[in-house]
Structure 1
Amino acid sequence: MTSNLSRSPAETGQHGPYSTVAVIGAGAWGTALALIASKAGRAVRLWGRNAQDIATIGNTGQNLRYLPGIDLPRGVTATADIETALSGAECVLIVTPSVTLREICRQMAPHVAPRVPLVLCAKGIETGSGKLLSEVASEELPGHPIGALSGPTFARETALNYPTAVTLAFPFAQADRRDPRAAPASRLALSLGSENFRPYVSDDLVGVEVAGAVKNVVAIACGMMTGAGYAENTRAALITWGIDEMKALAEARGGRRETIAGLSGIGDLTLTCSSTTSRNMHFGVQLGSGIARENVFDGTPVVVEGEVNAISVVDLADRIGLDMPVCRAVNAILHEGADLRRTFAALWARPITGENKFLNLALENPAGTPG
């Protein structure tokens, strides 16, 4: 008979919230999630690689670099030592940029306890391999339940306790379906949920991950068009096409199209494409208005997930033979030197097709191909 030490939480029938949460990544979103977990009654360890920032959090009770003016509860312990952060943690939220995920997982590997659930809170696809972030984490930290938290969330609004809803997605094993309350996604929802933070549980990890990666690229497209002087009609069309590209890629990777209709898809895309509070949208607005790449954000180095994701999303689409014209346009402008106005004009000059994909129709566009 298998001992309890080698069985998952679902198999041992454990229910209820996790008591101790480690948050790996002390940027704005990581800090906001640490605050949310503490408000929900958890003991929280917040890890950041910048020892000076961590010391400031300890001395002031605020993350002055990323969330100034917002006090962290006493239940949040900030540390620059990853072993200390992970010691005794019953679940881990990984909130570092997608491009650093593999490196961070390798740093975590010696210190995270076996079978502890890992929640990916960044969004992207690994450049070069075309792998989803859950696949990257599974390679580096095998044996752990791995899921994702995603949805329409600005860090400051979440930290200020404005009502917020998110999706928590994990694959459901047979034991999870027999006893859903013991599934990692359910226990994490209880660990983070509170009066103004409402998680929903999903078993479509692929769909949620694809939505998060693609929405950042579409947000840059909307920002570019706004910065270039186009109006709301244009942005609405890009959002609609972006949703279609999300659905197509999710389905091609084994996810479900209906997931895109939820918080991690339409919800997150609507938020990100509608406000320059979004880093991706703001980045696109600056580029569209003619600001050189090296001068965006006043020259301050800022990680823009969609800038990297544009490469990886298009690369993945090419690998599986999928047409994603909006993402391809953004990638061409950002990384191939394409002219912004000509590239977006070409989107409108594509052959006229049926909106319903079952209508097999392709007509020559009277607009022709832009010169």
Structure 2
Amino acid sequence: MANDVPDNPTRSLKDRGAISNLAGRFVDQVSSRECDGWETLLEPVERIETVAIEEKAKSIIATNQSPDIPFSQSINAYRGCEHGCVYCYARPAHAYMDLSPGLDFETRLFYKPNAVELLESTLRKKTYRCSPIAMGTNTDPYQPLEKDKQITRRILETLQRYRHPVTIVTKSQLILRDLPILAEMAQDNLAHVGISVTTLDNALKRKLEPRTAGPGARLRTIEALAHAGIPTAVMAAPMIPALNDSELEQILTRAHSAGAIHAAYILLRLPYEVAPLFRQWLAEHYPQRAEHVMSLVQQSRGGKDNQTAFGQRQRGTGVFAQLLQQRFRITCRKLGLNVRKLDLDCSEFTLPPQSGEQQSLF
């Protein structure tokens, strides 16, 4: 398998979320490292380097008609994510690349260097109809690779020229690099941002989301964005039963104090390969709590690890899910969150002149 990492779990690797390179569901044959008693011959894997792979995309804007997703268009400049969040629902997409949704997902990353060219081509089509473009819906647009590739930055600059509305969700402080662009767009109601705050516990963060900014840094990012006049939301997601759900009220309160005006949450989702990867992670880091966590997850997912029905996949069902929803609503009401709608303006969309085009005198 890629990176010579075992399919079967051994132990966690430093700064990585997944425990193994669990095979994707489309793989016919798998290989694994096995111990035959000569332990000294089986060298442990201590570190896996990140590999960036160029992908020439054929299109850049993805569309959806899902009734429980608040956007119809999205852009993902990267496949895979070095943040390594073990629960990430985007992990199964790596199986379509004949790679593992496990460690491959966070170490073998794809970037799209032609993203801006494709975006401009799409925006200039006569059939194009403007609606907000969401970024950060699959993998984080400000993951570490963005610092070098700057694809997200160039996409934002393009959307600003076209006066096209955009929404962003991220865990990264790197978004502050683009604060001037976002602040200018926000003045014209063309941008708002969501910062994901999963936990306020640094120790849990390091295990759950190993290569992400710490909780304090994320709250400071909310503060900086809000201070610049950018409508900012806190995304308390995912809420994991018996692991971080007890923090819900505190996360919302701290984010509101930092300047967040909107909030959302999602109950843990475990689609396809994410479920066994998460179970491996629980067994490694929280063995005494693992059975209880998964029991509550299944109680909230109709007796299964995952629930895919619209209207249920984000919130879950059952007593635990209902109590979580009530806690969220009560806290938001007390804090005054979600009072103002974050609707962006699509009427300002315009096609800027291209090089060589004659501009109108009027």
TM over 0.5: no
- In the superposition, the TM-score normalised over structure 1's length comes to 0.27
- In the superposition, the TM-score normalised over structure 2's length comes to 0.27
